Structure 1
């Protein structure tokens, strides 16, 4: 008897990946840095929030790594890895090891060689030094299983927690500022300028052709929308796509939180209007991204926010 394949091509095409990722984010997870040593003996590390326990007898743990990761082959060739569970005060380390722009992630980071020479990061809430037990291809990830040879959990501090695509403390702090009136539109725009310029520089370095093509399609959509509300939502999508092209999960956290606050501002903005003069600026930003020119792209992004600020000021004067 043949069992029908319920995951038909039509169903797979209709599957909403973004919504699926959001649903998965409803489960809070810890944040860890996974480390190993390369063939040359140099330490290698990356930020991960897919770590989980598997078995007590034998003591097994697991974590997953994207097939597209530049570190994949190093972990596949290595016979061991260490899992360093981060504390709340180690957010900077999380950001450092998630960045594709930092060549030597261990520069200035305190660590000691552990089991089989594995890099063990100082100050972690817990560490698990593992021999590789198995690896399995799982969709767009490789799932690594490790047998724990040595572990430590001496530091009694709260762990860093990742929840709904944001660090809980960061998201809560920004929302509290907004609710108390301490985060006005000017400071929100300045925060968006700073974060988006940072993301843009990373996108120039890490973005793929598919990322840039998606941004180009988005700009065309903005041009085709006749009303300001749809244009505003498509403009938010423009920045989401720039964020995606940066390929840095930690900065995504900040960008998504600022976007949530921006949506709240837009819902209450009576001066909202179409801004067709910003479309050519977006096109220039995209051109510089394709040219891998971060300085020119950042200058154009700053120009974008300058025009945004001037337009908002003019709209307020007109409605006064």
Structure 2
């Protein structure tokens, strides 16, 4: 056995998904016609170009998707690239609770008969070129037969589990001083207090170690010249807590709070070293190891209070 083969790392699915989120993607709605002729579609950020000659594109679809059969049986599909103003459509076509995704949506049949959604940035009608099984997904490769451009609006971008336009809006609110410290601190106490209690019940030892590793990084980067590293380590501290809570909805909210944190540490709040609060972060970790939810929440509350008193 080779040296490389003997050190194969086990890829944890949740972390794999989180790290894939570091790659920003556009958002598209993939559409086709079901066997009964009705339009169907779903939100997708796995769309990618494959070849220019011939013009090939692809998207992947979960085998567990209720629409898999419709796409397998169809001989054509369309890619509809969304703008920032169409984030509502993204949520609609991603929802499992909405039976008729096209109800109330403006669309038209393209030259190949596939559903094209109005006012998208671009649309591509494709003939199915190939289909490949790949793990828990099916990859569809399409040959573009018709395409059209739309308005020159900003694209809807998905990044770390949230729409990038949200992060940009938050940045503006922070820089304009429209998010006050009291409200932000209350949000941190409420959100991360809940996540810490969940983590005490659900976190794996590796997830607690990830939180402790972030604390180590914060303490190692205390010089004025190490501000960027300290900001990233602080963001990892909070994002690791969010991961350890094992609640996807709360983790997405935590992504938003991390965006606020980065902007405030960079542009608003004092960024000088704070070795006096080192023991409080360590106490959070110790309480997590002891599965002491009240203690962990109390340590976080004391940390936020201490940072503000000297801020």
Query: TM-score w.r.t. structure 1 length?
Result: 0.61
Q: Is the 8 Å Cα contact of residues 215 and 238 (structure 1) preserved in structure 2?
A: no
Aligned CA distance change for structure 1 residues 142 and 317 (closer, same or farther; 3 Å): closer
- Secondary structure (helix, strand or coil) at the match of 1:13 reads coil
Q: 1:269-293 CA distances to partner (integer Å, 9 max, x unpaired)?
A: 98895687x9669xxxxxxxxxxxx
Query: What are the superposed Cα offsets for residues 185-239 of structure 1, whole Å, 9 maximum, x if unpaired?
Result: 443367679999xxx9xxxxxxxxxxx99972359977xx99xx69x97875454
**Counterpart of 1:120?**
116
Matched, 1:177 2:173: yes
| Inter-partner Cα distance in structure 1 for 2:8 and 2:260 | 34
Partner of 1:286: none
The equivalent of 2:49 in structure 1 is 53
Task: List aligned pairs for 1:1-320, cutoff 5 A.
Answer: 8=5, 10-13=7-10, 17=16, 20-22=19-21, 25=23, 28-163=24-159, 165-188=161-184, 216-218=202-204, 236-237=239-240, 239-240=242-243, 245=248, 252=252, 255-262=254-261
For 1:295, the equivalent position in structure 2 comes to none
C-alpha spacing 1:51/1:261, structure 2 compared with 1 (3 Å): same
Q: 1:117 is paired with a residue of what secondary structure?
A: coil
| CA distance, structure 2, for counterparts of residue 107 and residue 217 of structure 1 | 41
Q: Deviations over 1:27-48 (max 9, x none)?
A: x432211111223333222222
Which string of whole-angstrom CA distances, capped at 9 and with x for unpartnered residues, describes residues 39-86 of structure 1?
333322222222222233433221222344343333222221110011
- Between the aligned partners of 1:309 and 1:115, the Cα distance in structure 2 is 59
SS of the residue 1:102 aligns to: coil
Measured after TM superposition, the shift of residue 18 of structure 1 is 5.4
Structure 1: distance between partners of 2:2 and 2:68: 31
Structure 1: which 5+ residue stretches go unaligned? 201-211, 282-303
C-alpha displacement of 1:122: 0.8
Instruction: Show CA shifts across 1:157-183 (max 9, x none).
Output: 333233455433321221232344322
> 2: distance between equivalents of 1:317 and 1:147?
57
Shift of 1:91: 1.7
Stretch of structure 1 that moved more, 187-196 or 91-100: 187-196
Contact kept in structure 2, 1:218 and 1:237, CA below 8 Å: no
In structure 1, C-alpha distance between the alignment counterparts of 2:103 and 2:199, rounded to whole Å: 35
- Residue 96 of structure 1 and its aligned partner are, at CA, apart by 2.1
TM-score of the superposed pair, with normalisation by structure 2: 0.63
Cα drift, residue 184 of structure 1: 2.7
| Structure 2: stretches of 5+ with no match in the other structure | 217-233
Residues 312, 14 of structure 1: CA spacing in aligned structure 2 closer, same or farther, 3 A cutoff?
closer
CA 1:235–1:310 in structure 2 vs 1: closer, same or farther (change >3 Å)?
A: closer
Question: 2: distance between equivalents of 1:38 and 1:5?
Answer: 49
Q: Which has the larger radius of gyration?
A: 2
CA RMSD of aligned residues (A): 4.9
| SS of 1:58 mapped into structure 2 | coil
- 2:39, 2:159 → 1: CA distance? 29
Aligned pair count? 271
Distance 1:131 1:194 in 2: 50
Distance 1:72-1:9 versus aligned 2 partners, 3 A rule: farther
Deviation at 1:97, TM superposition (A): 2.0
CA deviations 1:219-268 (Å, max 9, x no partner) are 9977xx99xx69x9787545446676459xxx94x641323435769x99
